[in-house]
């Protein structure tokens, strides 16, 4: 597996004690994947440069007893666009997947999805950002060049073919991928779909292998929307729900307990 390049994550963190920065710094700097940590107590901000997923970094901060909200994400050197998809679907499936264009030829895809059946699940960008009939109206895989279905490292693949994500025994898939064909400016307004089964990456003998990867039904999806980059989200009120950033932190990211508007406008892209 290739070494993941670090990205910068901007968190709002509630710090109410003099020792808070020391505890947060100790929790983060103990991980080899964390390159640097910068803390501004007055602004309640923590900037982390790391190759960990956003969920892993947030968990490390919150394990010190402080609540944290991701406000922005950026590349170590440059980033030329970012997007986010709030994913929900069958049963209790819900999650957040973020796209960060690190360069003209490389896009980072960072996500956490809960409520999945343990095991591999196909992940694809689909052509349409249309959820009027749940995931059925998302169209086919995003395939602007008319190629066959394949895996992320294949020359012959759909631009939307992102391979598989792996859900653990707890039903959570936490992943961090880099892709050379996904471009943030091309996928905004389209949809991200999670499939029922493993994508065979076009290598199977099934008739659908070179079309969809024979990965079964679409079990979760979300529209890909523009997102805030680093230091681009100064707001403390979520415009979609009218709640504070910290009230937003305590609400479910998708599904029951959220309004339709809220599922489309997470705090990270205010």
Which pLDDT value is given to residue 227?
Answer: 82
Whether residues 117 and 210 fall in one domain: yes
Q: Does 205 lie in the same domain as 87?
A: yes
Verify that 117 and 141 share a domain, yes or no.
yes
CA nearest neighbour of 7 among 28, 36, 29, 43: 36
pLDDT digits (tens, 9 = 90+) for 95-140: 999 999 988 889 999 999 999 999 999 999 999 999 999 999 999 9
Mark whether 96 and 188 lie in a shared domain: yes
pTM over 0.85, yes/no: no
- Claim to verify: residue 138 and residue 237 sit in the same structural domain: no
Cβ atoms within 10 Å, residue 171: 16
Q: Which residues of the chain have pLDDT under 70?
A: 1-4, 76-79, 228-270
Residue 268, in any domain of the structure: no
Task: Say yes or no: 88 and 187 in one domain.
Answer: yes
pLDDT confidence of residue 263: 37
- Please report the pLDDT score of residue 253 as a whole number: 46
Alpha-helix residue ranges (DSSP H) falling in 32-127: 54-62
Q: Which of 128, 120, 104, 103 is nearest to 221 (CA)?
A: 128
CA 66/CA 92 separation, integer angstroms: 26
Domain membership of residue 22 as a residue range: 1-76+229-258
Whose CA is closest to 66, among 43, 96, 92, 44? Answer: 44
pLDDT of residue 18: 84
Q: Quick one: 13 and 128 in the same domain?
A: no
Q: Are residues 41 and 102 in the same domain?
A: no
Domains: count for the chain:
2
Residues 86 and 203 in one domain: yes
Q: Are residues 59 and 92 in the same domain?
A: no
Instruction: Show the tokens assigned to 42.
Output: 């007055």
Q: Are residues 133 and 190 in the same domain?
A: yes
Q: What is the pLDDT of residue 6?
A: 84
What is the model's pLDDT at position 259?
Answer: 41
Cα–Cα distances in Å, from 168 out to 34, 80, 120, 154, 243?
Answer: 23, 32, 9, 26, 33
What CA–CA distance (Å, rounded) separates 10 from 8?
7
Distance CA 16, CA 121 (A): 41
- pLDDT on residue 262: 37
Same domain, residue pair 69 and 193: no
Q: What angle do CA 228, 44, 227 make, to 5 degrees?
A: 5
Instruction: Output the domain CATH number for residue 3.
Output: 3.30.70.100
Does residue 55 fall inside a structural domain?
yes
Residue 129 covered by a domain = yes
* Averaged confidence pLDDT in the chain: 84
């Amino acid at each position: 597996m290739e070494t993941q390049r670090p990205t910068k994550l901007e968190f709002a963190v509630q710090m109410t004690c003099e020792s808070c920065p020391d505890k947060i710094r100790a929790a983060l700097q103990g991980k080899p994947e964390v390159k640097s940590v910068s803390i501004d107590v007055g602004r309640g901000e923590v900037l982390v440069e790391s190759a960990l997923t956003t969920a892993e970094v947030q968990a490390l901060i919150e394990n010190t007893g402080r609540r944290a909200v991701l406000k922005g994400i950026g590349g170590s050197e440059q980033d030329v666009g970012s997007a986010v998809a709030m994913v929900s679907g069958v049963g209790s499936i819900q999650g957040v997947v973020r796209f960060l264009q690190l360069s003209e030829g490389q896009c980072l895809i960072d996500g956490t999805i809960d409520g999945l059946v343990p095991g591999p699940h196909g992940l694809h960008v689909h052509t349409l950002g249309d959820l009027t009939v749940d995931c059925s109206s998302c169209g086919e895989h995003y395939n602007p060049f008319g190629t066959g279905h394949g895996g992320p490292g294949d020359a012959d693949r759909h631009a939307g073919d992102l391979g598989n994500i792996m859900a653990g025994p707890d039903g959570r898939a936490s992943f961090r991928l880099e892709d050379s064909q996904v471009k943030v400016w091309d996928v905004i307004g389209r949809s991200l779909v999670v499939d029922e089964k493993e994508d065979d990456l076009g290598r199977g003998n099934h008739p659908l292998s070179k079309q969809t990867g024979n990965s079964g039904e679409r079990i979760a999806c979300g529209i890909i929307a523009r997102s805030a980059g680093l230091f681009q989200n100064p707001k403390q009120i979520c415009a979609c729900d009218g709640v504070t950033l910290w009230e937003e932190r305590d609400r479910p990211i998708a599904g029951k307990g959220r309004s339709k508007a809220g599922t489309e406008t997470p705090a990270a892209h205010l």
